[in-house]
Amino acid sequence: MPESITLKDPGRESRIFLVRTLTAVLIACALLAGILYRYYNLQIRDYETYRTQSERNRVQLQPLPPKRGLIYDRNGVLLADNRPSHMLSIVRERVEDLDATLEALRALIPISESDLETFHQKLGHRRPYEAVPLRFRLTEEERALLAVNRHRLPGVTVDAQLLRHYPHDALFSHAIGYVGRINEREMQALDQSAYRGTFHIGKVGVERYYEDVLHGEVGYQNVETNAHGRVLRVLERFDPRPGEDLVLHLDYQLQQAAERALGEQRGAVVAIDPATGGVLALVSTPGFDSNLFVNGISTEDYAALRDSPDVPLFNRAVQGQYPPGSTIKPMMALAGLQAGLITPETTVPDPGWYRLPGDSRRYRDWILKIRGTGHAPRVDLHMAIAESCDVYFYDLARRLTIDRMHELLAPYGLGERTGLDTTNERPGVLPSTRWKRDHLGKPWYPGETLSAGIGQGYMLTTPVQLAVATSVLATRGVQRVPQLLKSVGGVAVEAPEVSRIEASPEHWDAIFESMRAVVHSRRGTARKIGEGMQYEMASKTGTAQVIGIAQGAIYREDEVAERHRNHGLFIAFAPIEAPTIALAVIVENGGGASVASPIARAVLDDWLLREPPQPDAAASEGVPVDG
């Protein structure tokens, strides 16, 4: 029987084709609808969102750090400037593997652990797409290595910037201070919007005190970048406002003379213009190179400064607190005159020692070990100052009492901060019965009054306080706030007056003549430095004990360790008829005033006898003369 033959079914095939066609069309329509919906979302509903994200990738707002203000001395010599340098930075968002990138960079150029630590700290306090510095002061060779490897270091940038530089190394280290990289604590306290793009801040001295004036205001620019973060063009720019330039009262040549005179000795010199309160010189030795701190001092360098027995980081001019010794005797004498307890003709018997009524203890005069007796059978005010008679001032202190001394010496600026425009100034101590009760919880004893009367015991002063007190004497009673700043942006800044000491002209004349005799008389304690002097000065020597000497014992310097020897002090103003400079000198463990007085002579000679500046003197430093 033949097999059956199956014929084609056109209707069925048409239905299958139609179903398949409709399915394909529906799928195509669904896909098209999805595309249209997505397009609608991108172009209409979420247009602004994606446009903003795109712009953020393409256009960035970059901070423009301001140029820090420059610092000049009174004659236009540049003391702190800004020098171009190159900085290595990383934009975190453009780096896929940060650790690998850092390792690659360390293989190319030196990067210290300190640099890495600071970098990671900064990462936590930045805005998106903000570059974080990793290394400063790149050399030309380092920049070349980074440029050659730029293609494999996405997110790594090398930018030019201005860095602080101190052209005179250690000469003004304690006066001007220095800037340093912003640390974690400072970052928390700062207005971060005001410091965007800025990595340094004033740390101490003038740099810190006038930070707000020197810093300026940050600017901004909108830039278009490519996918690798490279800037293609600047779309909009708002220039930063640079910091103001400062002109200081400091005199470069006088500062040099003071440092040169101190030499290798530990000590300080502070010189003031009595008429204005302007600080002409502020030297503390030893100093340090301020440039070491700008980008973070190395561990080795910091350890050397920190561990040095000479303590170079210690600003002796404003932080050192020393017994003023006999340098306060002119002020004590005027206090006695003001109180009506003495006259210039009042005399006191001087056997070489003094004894309180009812007390067997003898308070010795320094001259006793030299002559075996006192300065003279009876001593008046003139001799007491010129020859530094302790007995005279023991007696005056007893009659004044410690609280009256406190009242009459306070207008010289003793016992409190002077208000000098710098950092870390210490107040010293001008003792009183209340001071001892509040600070030590003990009563005051009469013998302590005698010690205070010759600037010993609890009394402590800083060199800048002594310079201010000397300036008060030079102006016959006018106390001004000492000031480093002379002008800001060409506008003069005046030092405010604090107080005036009222005394009769005859009393001032007696003090001046007695201080003149310290150098310019046959028996003055500093007569040796008066040889060949072309001007007249008023001065006072001082010696401050570092260790106590037992009753009846004799101080022998060659038997005492160097750091236990007496401090040498000297105050002076000149010329005596119209003073233009007042100064204070201290030499730590120098043995006595004979070491300090030649230093003062060298500083005064430089100020009073220097040749008039040549027209191009300041130009030789590369800066114009102010005003």
The dihedral over CA atoms of 399, 402, 405, 410, expressed in degrees to the nearest 10, equals 180
Strand order in the sheet with 267-272: 279-285, 267-272, 581-587, 567-574, 538-544
pLDDT value, residue 570: 97
185 vs 350: which has the higher pLDDT: 350
Q: Name the nearest CA neighbour of 266 among 138, 391, 174.
A: 174
What's the rounded mean pLDDT across residues 365-369?
Answer: 87
Q: Which residue has the tokens 């059978």?
A: 377
Q: Where in the chain is the domain with CATH 3.40.710.10?
A: 320-573
pLDDT tens per residue, range 83-117: 988 888 888 777 888 888 888 888 888 888 878 88
- H or E segment and range at residue 90: strand 78-90
pLDDT value, residue 95: 81
Mean pLDDT for the chain overall: 88
pLDDT value, residue 602: 97
31 vs 585: which has the higher pLDDT: 585
185 vs 391: which has the higher pLDDT: 391
From the number of C-beta atoms within 10 Å of its C-beta (0-12, 13-18, 19+), residue 440 rates as exposed
Q: Quick one: DSSP state of residue 526?
A: T
pLDDT value, residue 562: 73
| Structure tokens given for 254 | 């006088």
pLDDT value, residue 616: 45
How many CB atoms lie under 10 A from the CB of residue 408? 19
pLDDT value, residue 548: 62
SS3 at position 33:
helix
Return the minimum-mean-pLDDT range out of 150-154, 272-276, 315-319.
150-154
Answer yes or no: is pLDDT of 624 > 50: no
d(CA 449, CA 602): 35
d(CA 127, CA 229): 15
Please say whether the beta carbons of 350 and 379 come within 8 A. Answer: yes
Q: Quick one: DSSP state of residue 559?
A: G
| Structure tokens given for 506 | 């005859």
| Structure tokens given for 282 | 């502020």
Please say whether the beta carbons of 62 and 221 come within 8 A. Answer: yes
Return the minimum-mean-pLDDT range out of 295-304, 370-379, 452-461, 495-504.
295-304
400 vs 37: which has the higher pLDDT: 400
| Structure tokens given for 295 | 């980008």
Q: Where in the chain is the domain with CATH 3.90.1310.10?
A: 60-248
- The pLDDT confidence band at residue 618, using thresholds 50, 70 and 90, is very low
pLDDT tens per residue, range 524-557: 999 999 999 999 999 999 998 876 655 555 556 6
Answer yes or no: is pLDDT of 407 > 60: yes
- H or E segment and range at residue 233: strand 231-238
Q: Which CATH superfamily, name and number, covers 60-248?
A: Penicillin-binding protein 2a (Domain 2) (3.90.1310.10)
| Structure tokens given for 244 | 């103001």
pLDDT value, residue 379: 97
The rounded Cα 142 to chain-centroid distance in angstroms is 33
> Which member of 326, 432, 514, 521 is catalytic?
326
Q: Name the nearest CA neighbour of 546 among 514, 591, 576.
A: 591
Q: Name the nearest CA neighbour of 413 among 456, 465, 335.
A: 465
Across-strand partners of 524?
none
Residue 326 is a catalytic residue: yes
d(CA 133, CA 296): 13
The dihedral over CA atoms of 230, 233, 237, 240, expressed in degrees to the nearest 10, equals 40
6 vs 565: which has the higher pLDDT: 565
pLDDT tens per residue, range 122-149: 777 666 767 788 888 888 888 888 888 8
Angle formed at CA 97 by CA 92 and CA 98, multiple of 5 degrees? 50
pLDDT tens per residue, range 492-518: 999 999 999 999 999 999 999 999 999
Q: Which CATH superfamily, name and number, covers 320-573?
A: DD-peptidase/beta-lactamase superfamily (3.40.710.10)
d(CA 531, CA 65): 56
d(CA 476, CA 290): 38
d(CA 228, CA 209): 42
pLDDT value, residue 230: 63
Q: Name the nearest CA neighbour of 489 among 334, 626, 352.
A: 626
Answer yes or no: is pLDDT of 627 > 50: no
| Structure tokens given for 182 | 């912003």
pLDDT tens per residue, range 445-469: 999 999 999 999 999 999 999 999 9
In three-state form (DSSP H/G/I as H, E/B as E, the rest C), the secondary structure along 360-386 is CCCEECCCHHHHCCCCCCEECHHHHHH
